[in-house]
Structure 1
């Protein structure tokens, strides 16, 4: 393949821009905010799960407290009715004796139920405190997540803007390179890890960093200026410049 020396040198400009695009893509992918957001999101998920569990416990305790208080109220009403009958004296001595025993039993039952109410209230209060604590923690972590997301988006915006500018510049320069040369370059770039053309610096290929043997170097030296030469080691296009030592 033949191409004007100026076109071959222009290929180095395209390569430099492609490398810059690779660097921008890598930088975008490896922004520290990505790991920060991932860690915060994981923490946020765990905290929200804990918050839901605490809210469920508080709700369950609320229902349990309501039922226990209703049980106490029923016993209290029953005791009040028995006391009223006892105070009226309108019953046989045997019935009055039974009422007295029932009042004692109801008093004990009421005391036991009131203990249960107090225990449930303590558990509910503890659950409410846990809900309050977790709500604050969720809010704090959400704030950190929002901040990290904003920083990530801003950094990505800057990188995307630069990438768009570099891409436009690349299109302009690549448009002036012969189509067959550009096609070969793109094919080699894809195959060789993003580098399809490299400068020949003295006897060293700047693509694979290996030194050409003297025979190959002499062949390149003897080649016509418009001959597109390739590195024997990595197959990349070797671009000859004033620094090539030819």
Structure 2
């Protein structure tokens, strides 16, 4: 393949822009905010699970407290009715005696139920405190996640803008490179880790950093200026410049 020396040199400009695009893509993928957001998201998931559990416990305690208070109220109402009957004296001595025994039993039952109410209230208060604490923690972590997301989006926006500018420049320069030369370059770039063309600096290929043996170097020296030469070690296009020492 042949191509004008100026076209081959322009290939180095295309290569430099492609490397810059790779760097920008890597930087975009490697932004520290990605790991920060991932960590904060995990924390949020755990905290929200704990919050749901605390809210469920608080809700269960609320229902349990309501039921216990209703039980206390029922016992209290029954005791009030029994006391009213006892005070009226409108019953046989045996019934009055039974009422007195029932009042004692109801008083004990009421005391037991009130103890249950207090115990449930304590558990509910503890759950409410836990809900409040976790709600604050979720809000704080969410704020950090929002801040990290905003910083990531801003950084990505800057990188994307630069990438768009570099892509336009690349399209402009690549458009002036002969199609067959550009096609070869793109094929080699895909196979060789993003580098399809490299400068020949003295006897060293700047693509693979290997020094050409003297025979190969002499062959390149003897090649026509418009000949497209390749590195024997890495197969990349070797671009000859004033620094090649030919």
Name the TM tier (shorter chain): over 0.9
CA distance in 2, matches of 1:91, 1:63: 39
Aligned-pair distance for 1:84? 0.4
Aligned-pair distance for 1:121? 0.2
CA distance in 2, matches of 1:151, 1:174: 34
Aligned-pair distance for 1:60? 0.4
Aligned-pair distance for 1:31? 0.1
Aligned-pair distance for 1:145? 0.3
Structure 2 unaligned segments of length 5 or more: list them.
none
Deviations 1:23-74, CA, capped at 9 Å, x for gaps: 0000000000000000000000100010000000000000000000000000
Aligned pairs, number: 246
CA distance in 1, matches of 2:94, 2:159: 95
Aligned-pair distance for 1:206? 0.2
Aligned-pair distance for 1:101? 0.4
CA distance in 2, matches of 1:37, 1:64: 40
TM-score, normalised via structure 2 length: 1.00
Aligned-pair distance for 1:144? 0.2
CA distance in 1, matches of 2:243, 2:119: 88
Structure 1 unaligned segments of length 5 or more: list them.
none
Kindly report structure 1 stretches of 4+ aligned residues shifted beyond 4 Å. none
Deviations 1:185-214, CA, capped at 9 Å, x for gaps: 000000000000000000000000000000
Aligned-pair distance for 1:14? 0.1
The DSSP-based 3-state class of the residue aligned with 2:239 is strand
Deviations 1:76-129, CA, capped at 9 Å, x for gaps: 000000000000111111111100000000000000000000000000000000
Partner of 1:174: 174
The DSSP-based 3-state class of the residue aligned with 2:199 is strand
CA distance in 2, matches of 1:160, 1:92: 96
Aligned-pair distance for 1:228? 0.1
Backbone CA RMSD of aligned residues: 0.3
Aligned-pair distance for 1:20? 0.1
Deviations 1:127-167, CA, capped at 9 Å, x for gaps: 00000000000000000000000000000000000000000
CA distance in 2, matches of 1:74, 1:209: 92
CA distance in 1, matches of 2:168, 2:134: 50
Partner of 1:85: 85
CA distance in 1, matches of 2:183, 2:89: 114
Aligned-pair distance for 1:243? 0.3
CA distance in 2, matches of 1:105, 1:214: 112
Partner of 1:215: 215
The DSSP-based 3-state class of the residue aligned with 1:239 is strand
Partner of 1:150: 150
